[in-house]
Amino acid sequence: MNNLPNLSDFKVFCVVAKRRSFVESAEELGSSPAYVSKRINILETNLNCKLFHRSTRHVSLTEDGKLILEKITHILDEFDALSELLNNPLGSPTGHLDIVSSFGFGRKHVAPILSKLLNMYPKLTIHFNTIDNTKDLIQHSIDLDIRIGNEIAPNMIAKKLAPNFRILCASPSYLAKNSIPETIEDLQHHDCLTISERDQSSVLLKLRHKNEDIVTHVRPRFVSNNGEIIHQLAIDGQGIILRSVWDVAEELASGKLQHILPEYWQDADIWAVYPSRLKTSSKLQTCILFIQHELSNRLHLIQNLNRGELISPIDNIHPLTEKVFL
């Protein structure tokens, strides 16, 4: 090692490792691609190793780069926590957070909550992405994943934000034309609209029935990575869906969708998932508590619904009155 590396160069390195592009990294850092490339070259010289494989469009970490990213991420987090404590002794969150969530829930609930969070903490900045897959939070330098579904990696910390579960439903027009399934096996003879997002398989449904787990095959007529598309197709009478109660409660109450096979459900609670390195971050914990409080207000009308019981149009579920991002 020729010279002691600059801490700011390591921060540039972490952004490039996350974005895998000098151009996108420059946009996030508010600089030029040439500047980013220069700082990475200087860092590689100081460390006497190659950090990235470079192509014309993307970059990827070398084995040395992966090792250094794992080590330096912890150091930078500790430094940021110390800076936060020194500059902000009263505990009001400052600095930056990288947050992800799924398409529909992110747009309908998380984004409006983050808007309130920005108003409350003016020194906080947020990078928020909606995604259709489960990302490695450490590899992509993500601070917080607002996730629906109970399959969580054991090396992550998970805090339950709100109860939720998925149910089977379809439009009355589809059921009138194709009959109502009476057994779970009947689904194999119906048009199913499935989603290939996060923890969900497009051909296998993992469901709960009383105290046992079951797995059933379905015949997808339409598959998408976007739950909002599947939701709308079900309303249009195209088939049967497995969707979260937070997403279909209004349509069930209005009669646009009908709950079928109510004795079957899929546990899909709402979680705040984050790396263990951030367990002592007061900034993150403050934000998680704020999100949890706001979700309890937005979803309180569905929290009285019981798993394994029929949800019918007479249930008193009122439309969401909180802000929704369109």
| Entry pTM | 0.71
User: Do strands 165-170 and 258-260 pair parallel, antiparallel, or not at all (unpaired)?
Assistant: antiparallel
> DSSP per residue over 113-170, as a string?
HHHHHHHH-TTEEEEEEEESS---TTTTT--EEEEESS---TTEEEEEEE--EEEEEE
Q: DSSP class of residue 107? A: I
What are φ and ψ of residue 65, in 5° steps? -65, -40
pLDDT of 95 reads 85
**Collapsing DSSP states into helix, strand and coil, what is residue 271?**
strand
Handedness of CA 245, 286, 77, 126 (dihedral sign): positive
Q: 265 near 206, Cβ under 8 Å?
A: no
Q: Give 100's strand partners.
A: 129, 145
pLDDT in tens, 243-297: 999 999 999 989 999 999 999 999 999 999 998 878 778 889 889 999 999 998 8
Nearest one of 263, 247, 253, 258 to 314, comparing CA atoms: 253
Instruction: Give the integer Cα–Cα distance in Å for 251 and 232.
Output: 10
pLDDT of 1 reads 47
What are φ and ψ of residue 247, in 5° steps? -90, -30
pLDDT in tens, 142-169: 999 999 988 888 888 999 999 999 999 9
Domains and CATH numbers, the chain: 7-84 (1.10.10.10), 87-163+269-298 (3.40.190.10), 165-267 (3.40.190.290)
DSSP element (H, E) containing 68: helix 63-87
Q: What is the mean pLDDT of the chain?
A: 86
User: Do strands 165-170 and 264-267 pair parallel, antiparallel, or not at all (unpaired)?
Assistant: antiparallel
pLDDT in tens, 62-99: 999 998 888 887 777 777 666 665 555 546 788 899 99
CA atoms within 13 A on the CB side of 243: 32
Q: DSSP class of residue 278? A: G
- Percent helix, strand, coil in the chain (nearest 5)? 40, 25, 35
